A and B are shown apart, each in its own frame.
Chain A
Amino acid sequence: MVIGGGIAGIQSALDLAEMGFFVYMVEKGPAIGGRMAQLDKTFPTNDCSICMISPKLNDVGGHINIEILTLTDVLGVKGKEGDFEVKLRKNPRYIDMSKCIACGECATKCPKKVSNYFNEGVDTRKAVYVEYAQAVPLKFSINDKECIYLTKGKCGNCKKVCPANAVNYEDKAEEVTLKVGSVVVASGFDVFDPTVAETYRYSQWPNVITAMEYERILSASGPFQGHLIRPSDHKEPKKIAWLQCVGSRDVNRCDKRYCSAVCCMYAIKEAVISKEHASDLEASVFYMDIRTYGKDFEKYYNRAIDAGVKFIRSRVHTLTPEPNGDVTLEYIDDLGERQSETFELIVLSVGMTPRANLPRLAESLDIDLNEEGFIQTQPLTPINSTRPGVFACGAVNEPKDIPTTVMEASAAAEAAGRVIAEARGTMTKTREYPPERDVKDEAPRIGVFICHCGINIASVIDIEDVVNYCKDLPFVELCTNTLFACSADSLGKIKDAILEHKLNRLVVASCTPRTHEPMFREALAQAGLNKYLFEMANIRDQDSWVHQKEPAKATQKAKDLVRGAVAKAALLEQMYQTRMGLTKEALVVGAGAAGLNSALSIAQLGYPVHLLEKTDVLGGNGPKIFSREKDVRGYVAKLIKDVESHPLIKIYKNTVPKSSHGFVGNFETKCLGPEGEFSISHGVTVLCAGGHAHKPNSYLYGENPNVLLSLDMDELLATNSEAIKKPGQTFAFIQCVESREPERPYCSKICCTHSIESALTILDRNPEATIYILCRDVRTYGFREKLYQEARSRGVRFIKYCLDCGKPEVTAGPNGKLHITIKDHVLNRPVLIEADCLTLATGVDPTPMREEIVEVFKGQLSAEGFLFEAHMKLRPVDLATDGQFLAGLAHYPKPLEETIVQAKASAARVATILSKEYIMVGGVIAVVDPEKCAVCCTCVRACPVQVPKIVRNETDPALRGHAFMEPAMCHGCGVCVSECPGKAIKFQFFTDEQLLAKVEAMIVEKKAKPA
């Protein structure tokens, strides 16, 4: 069972279902999608949020092994890991889901307007509603606290107008008990309500808004259709300020000690997007520390600076309203001067807080919350709750961004699947079909079904007229109308008609293929027809909805659309996806913390693993790390022991991969080990090539024995060295050494926390020590902020420097002391620190991967030398090539707990492939005609996922070769098809002939049937 239908729950549920488990997804609201569905764009790629999550929503909605339970609360969980009984309450929707066709008639006629919480209250909706246009399930619901009929017994409009008779005021809550093996909690977070932080006057002034409201304002589907206007007077603001850390890092007013981890990035993103909306817009961000610590975040920050976004380091203390709705900010700048500036709109970068209902949920799940009110987990088991078999992922256990959430969601799927590994495949459903009728040699016999969609289509378009018209179109055997083509009885009629009239092509004129095509294809398959012999005409979204006022023209357009669909349908061909066997073994490259965890998890899920390590020791950086919070060395030692003793893991030390070929399910990699070359067959690959501490050329490193790297200091701390216990000692740390500079622009994410932990450990053992940390922005994101607070309260001195005002200078002084000069930002003058020991936080360099990894496995490296994942936001564990995954420092610098999560996530992703008995290949893909191929390499160069290859001519090697796309690898994007200069590539289901026939038919009316 997955609790929560946001991106975390969605990823977990999809992974679990693909791993071979049946999943119940429990969502408290009427639709899944969560917070991500509300966002406008996402950092750092500026991808549209709803466009990214929408396909995932449909994947969940249409998955045969996921059952979505909306409007459902968890009441209690009995039993133990592997055998839970979960008691649920399904709250009434008052709309029969099986009848609702989402036509919206009810909402149009509903007289009750209420605040639209999906749009953060910026506008209103009706008491009967869908949250948003792409919602899954796309079914209306009635809020019983808002509905006039349900509260006062009057009105009843929606019941009267519903064409599908779906409204049921008698709907009652129902309690059900489900048996499940494990539970994943992914119930997300609440947005901090800034009303309590009265400085910001959020509840008093309309032009002080939260960032979430701002997301909705920016969104094209938001209350202002994406026009950037302020709420008070709908004026386009030309000057906007973002105030950071509202509801984060503020014990004083907000009672929040932690950093919310995402607000710096989203504020920068909103500022950048705002400037794209209006280039003359002035955007200012008021911050304490800019925390752009993730992959490509620092680059994004630098781009924002270049784009003219102003960054001001200050916590604004006073906001004053102006009569015209503007707001004046007063603040103290870096030099201690009091400043004042007026803005037209203030956006509060509000943080994440635990969900208001989380304490109750935790109680019913019998799990603990931590002192911040999030679900309690441990650093080395970051997704395990305090109750075995109950796992937590996403912002429910700590504030975090989407990629980290997605990684955790996959890791939670791994954990939830592992405890019930033996039950894999026992509860899942598969679809059975009758044998397919071969219609290759038959002339087309097309069946056309025109849908009324209640009154959605029929109120505008004259269906009768369209039906009569279409009967005479070429090859049409049967044309009929149907009230709701998608209803179960209509689908039955369609199947009967296929059999009765010996139809071999089907056209449905109704709504969008985006949501409905799979359902109709399914009907074809059940009637023994190839599922690709189906075409849709969208006469609702593209016709009746947009041409309501011109019914005659809309009817004509419906005829045009159907005529086009029929013309294409006549040319449709049967296409087959073939089953291809796979090697149910995994190859893991690199045996650091990532590789070890990945290998162990995959093996524990039941699949053999080949683990390659190029050195003769396992553990990578793990044995070098010391942490005050967790026993890293003990953890890694145990991990190595577990891996070495696992019967399904074969370890190859001193071994490197030399070449690899094949595709998902069927890879073959040649390796070179101590005993020479050998070959491994595997179905999937996990790349965990790792990284290492950067060795600097500055600050006397390598010249002075008292200048250390962070890991050298770890060694002193781990061995409890006396060298740090002398009275009166002074320790200094310099952060961002050769990091976040033009030559090495990225932030290594871990160093701020690492230095602070080291400083605190020194203080634990040598309380009299003086400690300075020279830093730029302190990036202790999430709960790590608490360490920063502890360090400051215990007297660690933080001196901030910036590249513009000068880096620290280090010289060797007398008596082995180090003289460090830095300009103090408060005193605004240089200060001299005499330190006994200087630790340089140099960050992480990736292992050079070009030759050993990228050339062998055909990946891509970022400019900084890290591996490119398939998608930064939603596929952070996958590589672009299907069947390849990554984890750990090879992806980007990250702390051990995140490496563990990513490695476990990779195991879940691996299991989604290896759990299959075969993979389906083919279908809507590109196919080369070797005769026409000019071997020009255009497709090879144009393909975004490097699928096409030039291969030898198989029938006669002496002949010219041709391009070839492995069906198992082709993603079916069509880029090569449009680029091919020889027109040698066919895009199946979208061939030139089919599309041209469709377009021509739509434009030119040919009435008579051919003879």
Chain B
Amino acid sequence: MIICERKPIDEIKSFIAGKKKVLLVGCRGCVTVCNAGGTKEVEILAALLRLDAQKDGNELTVDEFTLERQCDPEYIDELADLVGKGYDAILSMACSVGPQFLSRRYPKEQIYPSLNTCFIGGALAHGIWTEHCQACGNCVIHLYGGMCPVSRCSKSIMNGPCGGSSNGVCEISKEVECVWHLIASKYMDEGRLSEFAPIQPIKDWTKSRDGGPRKIVREELVK
């Protein structure tokens, strides 16, 4: 899923400075699952903004609404009536797809992102998420013991480890595990080190970002 994190409260406050009526829009998709933008987080942010306004003596109305998803126009449409009531700012609590879809559908509104979209990953445990994919468009993890060197190696090198791997951690930080250490250890544990040895040819990056913004068209699905 897409892992997001709420923006610092001061930044969000700066979006709505001087505004009187604000709508927070949550999303029941990835950001609910990663505890960043579901109904509960919308409630919390709304409460924070209200308290803050009260503390500073500002007049502020904060309305809340959570959509099924913000990455499909049909759901974005559901907001039409509410948006019609007139808001000074609409804060999306989805990944950055959400505020973009909102902006396109409601071009006159002032739309702000209240989350930072961080990476594609998963939850290791409650409250801990790690990056597992960089959407390179050409998955090769089967060549690396089921682990992704593109997203999980600091240098994204395809033939590692580099000289910066020490005791299983990356030279950039003791908090970053060296995926190449994990890959090599896995092959060693399985007694398949010889399969690990071949040098991989240069990866085909044409399907990654280097070809500009990407688009998929499935002819059979398009009417």
Contact = CB atoms under 8 A, between A and B. Distances in A.
A578 to B, nearest CB: 29
A934 B38 contact: yes
Contacts of A936: 32-35, 38
B40 interface: yes
B126 A938 contact: yes
A983 B38 contact: yes
A820 B35 CA distance: 62
B162 interface: no
Nearest to A983: B39
Interface string A977-988: 001111100000
Contact of B125 (A941, A979, A980, A981): A941
A983 B125 CA distance: 20
Contacts of A797: none
Interface string A919-940: 0000000000000101111100
Contacts of A934: 28-29, 32-33, 38
Contacts of A981: 32-33, 35, 38-41
Interface in B1-41: 28-29, 32-35, 38-41
Contacts of B126: 938, 941-942, 979
Contacts of B123: 937, 941
B131 interface: no
B43 interface: yes
Given A934-B28, A936-B33, A982 B125 contact: no
Contacts of B125: 941
A878 to B, nearest CB: 25
A163 B40 CA distance: 50
A990 to B, nearest CB: 16
Interface in B165-190: none
Interface size class of A (residues with CB under 8 A): 10 to 19
A429 B41 CA distance: 50
Contacts of A937: 33, 123
Interface string A931-956: 01011111001100000000000000
Interface string A388-400: 0000000000000
Most chain B beta carbons < 10 A, residue from A935, A981, A982, A983: A981
A935 B33 CA distance: 7
A938 B1 CA distance: 14
Nearest to A979: B126
Interface in B34-79: 34-35, 38-41, 43
Nearest to A939: B126
B10 to A, nearest CB: 23
Contacts of A938: 33, 35, 126
Contacts of A982: 28, 32, 38-40
Nearest to A934: B32
A938 B123 CA distance: 10
A382 B108 CA distance: 83
Given A936-B33, A937-B123, A941-B125, A983 B40 contact: yes
B41 to A, nearest CB: 6
A932 B123 CA distance: 21
Nearest to B125: A941
Interface in B104-139: 123, 125-126
B46 to A, nearest CB: 13
Contacts of A935: 33
Contacts of B28: 934, 982
Interface in A838-885: none
Contacts of A932: 39
Nearest to A980: B40
Contacts of B33: 934-938, 981
Nearest to A992: B43
A936 B40 CA distance: 13
A983 B65 CA distance: 13
Contacts of B32: 934, 936, 981-982
Nearest to B31: A981
A935 B43 CA distance: 19
Interface string A71-108: 00000000000000000000000000000000000000
Contacts of B40: 980-983
A945 to B, nearest CB: 15
A819 B181 CA distance: 46
A826 B213 CA distance: 81
Contacts of B43: 983
A941 B32 CA distance: 15
Nearest to A978: B40
Nearest to B43: A983
Nearest to B68: A934
A508 B38 CA distance: 38
Contacts of B39: 932, 981-983
B20 to A, nearest CB: 22
Nearest to A942: B126
A932 B126 CA distance: 20
A982 B123 CA distance: 17
Contacts of B35: 936, 938, 981
B86 to A, nearest CB: 27
A870 to B, nearest CB: 22
Most chain A beta carbons < 10 A, residue from B28, B32, B34, B39: B32
A935 B40 CA distance: 15
Contacts of B34: 936
A993 B38 CA distance: 18
Interface in A128-142: none
B117 to A, nearest CB: 17
B201 to A, nearest CB: 39
Nearest to B37: A981
A960 to B, nearest CB: 11
B206 to A, nearest CB: 35
Nearest to B41: A981
Contacts of A983: 38-40, 43
Contacts of A941: 123, 125-126
A979 B39 CA distance: 11
Nearest to A943: B126
A941 B122 CA distance: 14
A982 B39 CA distance: 5
B43 to A, nearest CB: 7
A488 B29 CA distance: 56
A981 B32 CA distance: 6
Contacts of B38: 934, 936, 981-983
Nearest to B33: A936
A2 B40 CA distance: 51
Nearest to B35: A981
Contacts of B29: 934
Contacts of A980: 40
A299 B62 CA distance: 52
B70 to A, nearest CB: 14
Nearest to B32: A934
A936 B39 CA distance: 13
A983 B26 CA distance: 12
Interface string A779-814: 000000000000000000000000000000000000
A983 B64 CA distance: 13
Interface string A954-984: 0000000000000000000000000111110
A570 B123 CA distance: 41
A932 B26 CA distance: 13
Interface string A21-36: 0000000000000000
A934 B66 CA distance: 12
Interface in B181-214: none
14 contacts: A934-B28, A934-B32, A936-B34, A937-B33, A941-B123, A941-B126, A942-B126, A981-B32, A981-B39, A981-B40, A982-B38, A982-B39, A982-B40, A983-B40
Given A934-B29, A981-B35, A981-B41, 8 more contacts: A934-B28, A937-B33, A938-B33, A941-B123, A941-B125, A942-B126, A981-B32, A982-B28
Which A-B residue pairs are the 4 nearest by beta carbons? A936-B33, A981-B38, A941-B126, A983-B39
Interface of B: 28-29, 32-35, 38-41, 43, 123, 125-126
